[in-house]
Structure 1
Amino acid sequence: MIVVGRFSFPHEAHIAKANLESAGIESFIADEYTINMQWLYSNAIGGVRLMVNEADEAEAINILQADFSEALDDTEVCEDTCPHCGGIELVPHTKGKQPAFLVFILLGFPLFFYRQGYKCNSCGEFSEKL
């Protein structure tokens, strides 16, 4: 077995392994469980290793180095608009997060009275759904 890739975290190695398996190349992930138990050891032991058979080394390296960004279809862009002003500058926002944190600090247990939604940078209004 030959190492064709090293990754800091196991999930990165699994993505690469799935990419190789879709091309019919059998691969093996080494040191995955060690990194899962103590992720601080990742740099010390060389990360999570993705290994393939010697015969598949060149093809595996080509697949892992390939750029598939051209395959993405970016012609259809969905732009949500603010229901209040029609602006398109929406950002994810959690309303009531600071008061919830203060209650947690003062009482020692959380009271979850915050809401997830979007805040418009144009008008400053908050909306839960678009």
Structure 2
Amino acid sequence: MSWVTVARYSLPVEAHMARARLDSEGIEAVVVDEHTIGMQWLFSDAMGGVRLQVEEAQEDRARAILEEDRSDLVDESIAPGQASRDCGEVPPLSRLVETRRRQGFFMAFLFWFIGS
């Protein structure tokens, strides 16, 4: 049995959401490198991120499922960017990830500078 990568993600949680989507469609999928990225998230881009893999025979079907737009299934009574009507605006995940990366790089530089 041969496994192929059908998608790459910066965060393990994104990969697990996609894996759950494939599992719901009857496609077995595995998340690869999640622990390495979880321990050393600075390596994420260098390693190509967290990989989502499926059996080679299911590759085309898995890619088609992941590319489907299911935004029509979202509750339209909730405005885009809001978790609920009472929570206010929720920033996009990509902006949160970028903010955390910048903070991490700054802290690493600061510790290096103080230590030298």
Q: What's the TM-score bracket when you normalise by the shorter of the two chains? A: 0.5 to 0.7
Instruction: Return the alpha-carbon distance in structure 2 between the equivalents of residues 36 and 49 of structure 1.
Output: 13
Q: 1:15 aligns with which of 10, 14, 17?
A: 17
Quick one: distance in 2 between partners of 1:38 and 1:3? 21
**What is the CA–CA distance in structure 1 between the aligned matches of 2:33 and 2:85, rounded to whole Å?**
42
Per the normalisation by structure 2, the TM-score is: 0.64
**Paired position in structure 2 for 1:6:** 8
Structure 2 gaps, min length 5: 90-116
Displacement, 1:71?
1.4
For residue 76 of structure 1, report the CA deviation from its aligned partner: 7.2
Which segments of 5 or more consecutive residues in structure 1 lack a partner in the other structure?
Answer: 81-89, 93-130
Q: How big is the shift at 1:73?
A: 3.1
Partner letter of residue 28 of structure 1? V
1:9 Cα deviation from its structure 2 partner: 0.7
Q: Which has the higher strand share?
A: 1
Please say if residues 44 and 50 of structure 2, whose CA atoms lie closer than 8 Å, have aligned partners that are also in contact: yes
CA 1:20–1:75 in 2, change beyond 3 Å: closer, same or farther?
same
Of Structure 1 and Structure 2, which has the larger fraction of its residues in helix?
2
- Provide the rounded CA distance (Å) in 2 between the counterparts of 1:79 and 1:11: 24
Partner of 1:60: 62
**1:25-104 map, 5 Å:** 25-75=27-77
**1:71/1:33 Cα in 2 relative to 1: closer, same or farther (>3 Å)?**
same
Distance 1:42 1:70, change over 3 A: same
Provide the aligned C-alpha RMSD in A: 2.3
The residue identity in structure 2 corresponding to 1:74 is E
What is the deviation of 1:91?
5.4
Structure exhibiting the larger radius of gyration computed from Cα positions: 1
- Give how far 1:74 is off: 1.2
Deviations along 1:47-98, one digit per CA (max 9) or x if unpaired, are: 0000000110011001111110011231577867xxxxxxxxx958xxxxxx
TM-score (norm 1): 0.58
Question: Equivalent residue for 1:108?
Answer: none
Could you say if the C-alpha distance between residues 79 and 11 of structure 1 is closer, same or farther in structure 2, counting changes exceeding 3 Å?
closer
